[in-house]
Structure 1
């Protein structure tokens, strides 16, 4: 797997321009030993005069999230493992806050917490001491990640936290990561049976691999990446222009436009044409 640094796209972020105009959002690469398992670290700081609700269509990834809400003296801090989110994630940001996150590659989390299948955390936000075997070091890790103002110090603290907990060798995790990356990069892969053939696995074995190491099934992953692509196209459109939804549906492997509209609406909450009208102009 090539290392091209943190992604620069905003796939999955609903109204990315609105969010980025209100918060400081950065991505950083982890230590070289961790890069095969992680997408990137993501850091967010905000100081808002008015509340803002952010919405994200989750990736098929587990995230480790350290968060602080409020001014330092009376701030509320926490840390949790956020399993793959099945629904639109919404968070209301108010006042002052800070979040330091780790986005694992799909399939890359289990080497750090091998006691459980990743599906155990799907749709859940679990405290760190429920997930990791060494709860005694968690508290110090939370402070070490959230206290520094400098990005490099937060990144170093995240590196130290993860390197103390793995990763354990796991060839099945490597296989799962490679297969998800193939789905993300190759739009021609549209069916679970096709992916199983490429992997040299039965459909049932592929589904078990994904449940154990990704947390969701391969069909869910295929559909989620399609919605991400459609959302990015909607984000890039500017009235009066809009994407050719019928053509995009065919490009993404849908049998017709209605199926794309159904999946987009179920995930984002509004039909794609309505969403495009809501996206502000440049």
Structure 2
């Protein structure tokens, strides 16, 4: 899935980034990618678009993170926090991305590190001190120490160790939910997914909300939106919105525009991401 803190386009300081896969045994099943990024940005605010996935962020520059849903109040935490699966756009501060360690979880991959179902952190920015108690409260300082001693790779190794120690259950995502997520990600109708799994719709809804954080239809809508953004940023010239509507599974162009407004807070023609690789970050102002 798309990451909350990928390589940056910076103003005044060239972007420096490291993206890797976890090396600790077992974590690869739960984590799609992790990394470190450092940079400075010309704009003062940007919109983070929903991916349906969860991310862990550690702000190494200052002990603060914040997120403001377009239809909600600003949420503030200390510098180590979990972005639960978002199903709506949120305004974030580029200044809080000047030096960040991040983890992007696979579908269902964050569940082993939480005491409650993933739905409890849906559309929320939650401090790790609230989620993990003392372990979460001291994590940022431990990572800063590791970075000072050995650089970004040492910081990422320390973060892997913290996640390994925190796992409350096997880190392999539930196989049935993982299959459901893959099918929904490809645009398979919910009814067909239940048939493939041999589940009822109620059981599918329960499994998705517990492990993915979103009900199956909402998850499918977010992932369809992400398929659309992938096509828009593929570099094939100006988007043909009517073609993309049919190609990505929308009823028509009007349906695409409605869904785009729901998940991006803007029309498709107003969408201008930070870069094609950073399609979920949309600058809002200088």
TM-score bucket of the superposed structures, by smaller chain: 0.7 to 0.9
Give the structure 2 partner of residue 265 of structure 1: 261
Change (3 A) 1:39 1:96: closer
Give the structure 2 partner of residue 248 of structure 1: 244
Give the structure 1 partner of residue 81 of structure 2: 80
Q: Provide TM-score, normalisation by structure 1.
A: 0.78
Question: Superposed, which structure 2 residues align to 1:89-104 within 5 Å?
Answer: 89-94=90-95, 97-104=98-105
Listed one character per residue, the Cα deviations across residues 152-178 of structure 1 (whole Å, up to 9, x for unaligned) are 111101111001112513887332223
Give the structure 1 partner of residue 116 of structure 2: 116
Matched, 1:40 2:33: yes
Distance 2:127 2:96 in 1: 24
Change (3 A) 1:236 1:12: farther
Q: CA deviation at 1:263?
A: 0.5
Change (3 A) 1:257 1:202: same
Q: CA deviation at 1:95?
A: 8.6
Q: Provide the alpha-carbon RMSD of the alignment.
A: 3.1
Question: Superposed, which structure 2 residues align to 1:24-63 within 5 Å?
Answer: 24-31=16-23, 32-48=25-41, 50-63=42-55
Distance 2:58 2:87 in 1: 21
Give the structure 2 partner of residue 3 of structure 1: none
Give the structure 1 partner of residue 229 of structure 2: 231
Give unpaired runs (5+ residues) of structure 1: 1-6
Listed one character per residue, the Cα deviations across residues 211-238 of structure 1 (whole Å, up to 9, x for unaligned) are 1111101111211111112223323457
Change (3 A) 1:258 1:51: closer
Structure 2 counterpart SS, 1:229: helix
Change (3 A) 1:95 1:248: closer
Give unpaired runs (5+ residues) of structure 2: 64-76, 277-286
Question: Superposed, which structure 2 residues align to 1:172-187 within 5 Å?
Answer: 173-184=174-185, 186-187=186-187
Q: Provide TM-score, normalisation by structure 2.
A: 0.77
Change (3 A) 1:219 1:93: same
Runs of 4+ in 1 over 4 A off after TM superposition: 278-281
Structure 2 counterpart SS, 1:40: strand
Distance 1:172 1:182 in 2: 15
Asked if the contact 2:52/2:219 (under 8 Å) is kept, the reply is: yes
Give the structure 2 partner of residue 4 of structure 1: none
Asked if the contact 1:85/1:123 (under 8 Å) is kept, the reply is: yes
Q: CA deviation at 1:21?
A: 4.7
